[in-house]
Chain A
Amino acid sequence: MALKSFIQVHPDSHFPIQNLPYGAFKPEPAAPVRLGVAIGDYVLDLSEIAKAGLFDGPMLTGSDCFLQATLNKFLALGRPAWKEARATLQKLLSATEPTLRDNADLRQKSLVPMSKAEMVLPVEIGDYTDFFSSMHHAKNCSIIFRGPQSPIPPNWFHLPIAYHGRASSIVISGTDITRPRGQGYPAGDSPPYFGPSLKLDFELEMAAVVGPGNELGKTIDVNEAADHIFGLVLMNDWSARDIQAWEYVPLGPFLGKSFGTTISPWIVTLDALEPFACEAPKQDPHPLPYLAEKNSKNYDITLEVQIKPSGQKDSSVVTRSNFKNLYWTVTQQLAHHTINGCNLRPGDLLGTGTISGPEPDSLGCLLELTWNGQKPLSLNGTPRKFLEDGDEVIFTGCCKGDGYNVGFGTCAGKVLPSHD
């Protein structure tokens, strides 16, 4: 019989007892930040559960990791603590367990309606790395940025290419994004274009949240990498294509990306995603030994992007993709990241890169969908090459289980006009 909570959870909800994703929230605008897990339409305040002494397993008894404003301390504890917390919470929330169910006072204190909770960044992100792991995206970008003769660069099949992104400008879903200003390619001999970006884009990504990590100079084996990944979030790696195209040679993307990156508020754990694991694509050429996994896993997570133009009542779906379109797995990404001895810290974020699929309607950004603005999309009749001021971009991600979902909620942001 399927696990069931004493809290009513709608079958379409992203947050049944099988999920229990972690986040950080303020129960009221002026209140200090609490840690919580989502259950149906509620947030369970973990600080109240901890204070009530209900985390009574060997790893978490007496720990103050749930009395913090971020999950970093909990992340540093590693998988045994995560498994223990999950077991404790699933038991506590189950329909058959009286401890919380029958304690009105504790229920009152610990269950906050999601509509009242203001979500904030759940982790302090020390470093944010963005990979480039979808083959379809790599191929399309190569053609668009470097011409139709450009194949995927030869290194791409040998290593998960990545760059360091900007950690300071990572914001929580719902935060407005101001259109960046910057330089674009000069036309002919004139000076470069300068002004608000004319090619503002989204990128459909997910990101792994790092757990314990490693010391500087040490590496993490690819077959143990999963123990260093707490979970996944949705991520919109907003990109200004005109700024990016002019600045990215030879050191890669910089101001074309650093004006904002949005993540979803709920971290869905790898444990919750485990039922949706699927085989990763066959890799040819065979990866070098340090990237060769005994058991190479992707996850079947359906992803969707909607754009809601300012003034329109409805949003339009512009992309349907899937996490399993990634060529390089998140565990390969993490192992590669440490092979040179680079230290990962709890809370670091590893973006997957844009997740494009093979079909024309599974492309993960407007650059690809409109082929660099040459083929406008139609949003309920409104043509769209790149994002316009007022557009709201909404990502959703969800795994379909047998009678339940394990979902990520949404990752949304609205474009504001550039200053001056």
Chain B
Amino acid sequence: MALKSFIQVHPDSHFPIQNLPYGAFKPEPAAPVRLGVAIGDYVLDLSEIAKAGLFDGPMLTGSDCFLQATLNKFLALGRPAWKEARATLQKLLSATEPTLRDNADLRQKSLVPMSKAEMVLPVEIGDYTDFFSSMHHAKNCSIIFRGPQSPIPPNWFHLPIAYHGRASSIVISGTDITRPRGQGYPAGDSPPYFGPSLKLDFELEMAAVVGPGNELGKTIDVNEAADHIFGLVLMNDWSARDIQAWEYVPLGPFLGKSFGTTISPWIVTLDALEPFACEAPKQDPHPLPYLAEKNSKNYDIALEVQIKPSGQKDSSVVTRSNFKNLYWTVTQQLAHHTINGCNLRPGDLLGTGTISGPEPDSLGCLLELTWNGQKPLSLNGTPRKFLEDGDEVIFTGCCKGDGYNVGFGTCAEISLEILRAENAKQTMKSFRQFSHFGYSSSTTVTFTFHGDHSDSPPPPPQESKEIPVETPVPITVHLPQDIAAAKIQSAYRARVIRNLYKQIAAVNSEADRLQLLIQRQETVDSIRSDDREKLRMNETLMRLLLKLDSVPGINPTVREARRKVSRRVVELQEIVDGISGAKLDGDDECFGAWGPRGIFSMRDWDKAVEEMEERFCRERGGPEMERFCAEYLGFRCLQRFLGE
């Protein structure tokens, strides 16, 4: 039977008893900093637990490591102490253990509502190192910064490349970042650009928090490296691409990065992540012996980046990636770091580097997503090349367990209270963005919709389900098992449909990019003057059609969307053919295709989808549509009907 806490934990929560991540917080603004672990919507104050003498194992009895303002002293104690603390806390918080459960006074003292806790940096970071461990990111950066002829540098496959970052400017999630000023590449013979960065970017990273570490001159064996990693956090390595591009030769990134790095407040331990360990990618060439691991592990952590522009109500998901996309493991990174004798200290931070995946919507920064600003993203209709003032960038990371999550919370300029609502909404976002189906969050049924990235089967029926109704605040209701099962099954179907929609949506957004590209004069010229360019474009479009073909049409909505996008791609092919066939003096004709008559402009496409949706709704009728939406999409299609 699964471990369960006496504290009610919503099934969507990132912080069940299986997680217990460590952080530092102030229970009140003027209070001194305490150490704590997250449990559901609460923070357990470890200083109170320590003072009550409840850390009674051999490693921690009498230790003052939880009476500090940072975790450094606890980190220095190493894995045996970490395991002991975890066992003690899991026991103390479990539903069957009366010590804390039945002690109202201690509960009152030690359990602080998360909404009241102000999180601060959990460790004093002596040194911060940033690696470069995603092959996809390395490849894309090589092309963008050094041209299409640049392969990944040859050293990349032999060692986990890294540089030293700035420790002083690491801030906790929620801290505002001021747009940096600096120099950018000069245009021609003029002096360099100077002013606010024009290419401010995020980088989706995670970071390992170092435990005991090593003495100067000593090394840490790669097979023992895991004992020196306490846990992981989400990290946003904010980057000013224009500053970086101008300054980074020959000594690497400096002011393009040092203006701020945001980490999430909760350190999720490797012990909590262990159930989500997966095989690391095969490395070819085989690494040198000091980097060869007996057991090479990654972790299956779904990562997501959202941007919420100033003034917009909703954030848009711009990236879905996964920690397992890393080529070099964190243990290899740590062992490599010490191979020259460099000393690591408790609390040091090892960033993974930007975690890009292979798919176009799994790229970990705007530099890659917009291809250095050439292909803007659409954030609910607002184009975005790089970050604008007022943009909020929100990272989330979560492992899906069997009926529970092990999550990282967020790494953002957004408070945790808002997070839950954001999460609930985000689960539907990809579908909504594509289909423009309206929804109302007031009746959101969110209970299993967290599994967007998960291939795991739906959670088994349980005796009770928590269903947020009207508000995102979880309320426990008890359902008969068969009804619960039906709800779970319908949710699972909806998840499958959403995943298929996501695939179609990805093709559609790729078509958006290609359309923008085709609209550019340079592209028209190059397609006209170079048959290879035309061939390349046609091949790209053909690949999109093949991708669409591979989406199974298991449901009329999916089929309709697939047909619509296929048609669109075919029409783009025709345009490309038209461009290459047109005479030089036929410029006007050619661009006429994009004019008001053309059905392929962005506005017309949106309109076409909207018409399709309206037809769909009308065909199905009000109550039928509502039932359909509730069953397959997990929300009621109220908005459209209210609008009519």
Contacts and interface: CB of A to CB of B under 8 A. Distances in A.
Q: Do A and B come from one complex?
A: yes
A419 B164 contact: no
Contacts of A337: 255
Interface in B451-488: none
Interface in B84-142: 126-127, 129, 132, 141-142
B259 A259 contact: no
A246 B159 CA distance: 10
B162 interface: yes
A36 interface: no
| Secondary structure of the A contact surface, majority rule | loop
Contacts of A166: 127, 164, 342
B255 A247 contact: no
A289 B191 CA distance: 11
B169 A183 contact: no
B249 interface: yes
Contact of B247 (A126, A161, A192, A219): A161
A201 interface: no
Interface stretch (A21-29, A151-159, A222-230): A151-159
Most chain A Cβ neighbours within 10 Å, of B127, B142, B250, B258: B250
A243 B340 contact: yes
Interface string A233-257: 0000000100100111111111110
B290 A194 contact: yes
A343 B163 contact: no
Contacts of A290: 194
B280 interface: no
A182 B183 contact: no
A168 B345 contact: yes
Contacts of B132: 251
A139 to B, nearest CB: 12
Interface string B183-205: 10010000110100100000000
Interface stretch (B174-182, B266-274, B511-519, B558-566): B174-182
Nearest to B348: A168
B217 A126 contact: no
B168 A127 contact: yes
B169 A343 contact: yes
Interface in B337-382: 337, 339-345, 348
A16 B302 CA distance: 64
B342 A168 contact: yes
Interface residues of B, number: 66
Contacts of B554: none
Interface string B242-281: 0100111111111110111000000000000000000000
Contacts of A91: none
A169 interface: yes
Contact of B285 (A153, A158, A191, A342): A191
Contacts of A259: 216-217, 340-342
A382 to B, nearest CB: 26
B159 to A, nearest CB: 6
B166 interface: yes
Nearest to B132: A251
Contacts of A180: 339-341
B126 A155 contact: no
Contacts of A419: 217-219
Contacts of B249: 153, 155
Nearest to A246: B155
Interface size class of A (residues with CB under 8 A): 35 or more
Nearest to B341: A259
B216 A171 contact: yes
A256 B341 CA distance: 11
Given A217-B178, A254-B163, A260 B258 contact: no
B182 A194 contact: no
Given A163-B164, A251-B163, A339-B182, A240 B340 contact: yes
B240 interface: yes
Interface in B399-427: none
B169 to A, nearest CB: 6
Contacts of B159: 183, 192, 246-247
Contacts of A191: 158, 285, 288
Interface string A340-351: 111111001000
Given A155-B247, A155-B249, A181-B339, A162 B155 contact: no
A114 B142 CA distance: 54
Given A169-B342, A342-B169, 11 more contacts: A127-B166, A161-B250, A162-B251, A166-B127, A168-B344, A171-B216, A181-B340, A216-B260, A217-B178, A217-B259, A340-B180
By Cβ-Cβ distance, the 10 closest A-B pairs, closest first, are A252-B252, A340-B180, A180-B340, A217-B178, A178-B217, A164-B164, A163-B251, A251-B163, A342-B258, A258-B342
Interface of B: 126-127, 129, 132, 141-142, 145-146, 153, 155, 158-159, 161-169, 171, 178, 180-183, 186, 191-192, 194, 197, 216-219, 240, 243, 246-256, 258-260, 285, 288-290, 336-337, 339-345, 348
29 contacts: A127-B167, A141-B250, A145-B250, A155-B183, A159-B246, A166-B127, A167-B127, A168-B342, A171-B216, A178-B217, A194-B289, A240-B340, A247-B155, A250-B146, A250-B161, A251-B162, A254-B161, A259-B340, A259-B341, A260-B216, A288-B183, A290-B194, A337-B255, A340-B255, A341-B180, A342-B166, A342-B169, A343-B168, A344-B168
Interface of A: 126-127, 129, 132, 141-142, 145-146, 153, 155, 158-159, 161-169, 171, 178, 180-183, 186, 191-192, 194, 197, 216-217, 219, 240, 243, 246-256, 258-260, 285, 288-290, 336-337, 339-345, 348, 416, 419
